[in-house]
Amino acid sequence: MGGPAEYDVSKYERPSVTVDVVIFSLRSNELQVLLVQRKQWPYEGMWAIPGGFVRMDEGLEQAARRELAEETGVDDPEIYLEQLYTFGAPCRDPRTRVITVAHFALIPSEHLFLRASSDAAAADWYAASRPPPLAFDHAGILAYAIRRLRYKIEYTALAFQLLPEVFTLTELQNAYEHILGESLDKRNFRRKVLAAGVLEGTSHVRGGGHRPARLYRFRPDAVAEVKARRLFP
């Protein structure tokens, strides 16, 4: 068997690897996604999911968090980021053979400091269900990310990652409805979410009148990924 000295890396083709990050937030009473407008060929002028090539000295999550920071200004290791899927159709990028490892991130709207990176002409938010025509295979990546998010919030407390530190039960229900794209029964929702044991009440309320709404927070010792049973809807 040959040793390291006999291994000739030039004999093998080497595809490029990128990361794409589908960045979701709840804004203007709907689930929105951050898109960037491409400044260069290919697909110049079209909108795309933020992303970039993986550097030789960084891991996949490190690359995804770097892209997240460049596109939003948020450089916080606590921001929820999950690897989504690997997309590798041979002709997905006209420049060269590119395999992308897609991720999705969930960011509360008050943490966003929107800015376009140096390789983008602009950055803006769009309704996740009504994006403009997207470059590359990004329409499929976005659709896949929405399906994953909708699946996961039915079994986990993932929707809390899109909310501020404290919130009312109405705000929590609105978040679920915006993500799922359907209305939920108020009484049934509240019964299930309180029985799940992932909330703790605070001593604060919001609003005036005779029935101010109590504020809740996500219990720090509750695990968002525990799939005990279908909670919602």
Radius of gyration of the chain (CA): 21
**1 Cβ contact list (under 8 Å, min separation 6):** none
Residue indicated by tokens 């399906």: 147
Which amino acid does the sequence have at 129?
Answer: S
- Residue pair 93/17 in contact (Cβ under 8 Å)? The answer is no
User: Mind giving me the DSSP string for 126-142?
Assistant: EETTSPPPBSTTHHHHH
Question: Using CA atoms, how far apart are residues 40 and 117, in angstroms rounded to an integer?
Answer: 13
- Residue pair 155/227 in contact (Cβ under 8 Å)? The answer is yes
* Model pLDDT for residues 14-41, shown as the tens digit of each residue: 899 999 999 999 998 899 999 999 999 9
CATH number of 156-218: 1.10.10.10
Handedness of CA 77, 23, 67, 94 (dihedral sign): positive
SS3 label, residue 86 = strand
Question: Using CA atoms, how far apart are residues 156 and 223, in angstroms rounded to an integer?
Answer: 8
Asked if pLDDT for residue 229 goes beyond 60, the answer is no
* Model pLDDT for residues 108-165, shown as the tens digit of each residue: 877 666 666 667 788 899 999 999 999 999 999 999 999 999 999 888 878 888 998 8
The predicted structure's pLDDT at residue 3: 67
Helices (H) and strands (E) in the chain, counts: 4, 9
Give CA 66 to chain center in angstroms. Answer: 14
Q: pTM of the predicted model, to two decimals?
A: 0.89
- Residue pair 232/189 in contact (Cβ under 8 Å)? The answer is yes
CATH number of 9-153: 3.90.79.10
Q: Where are the domains of the chain?
A: 9-153, 156-218
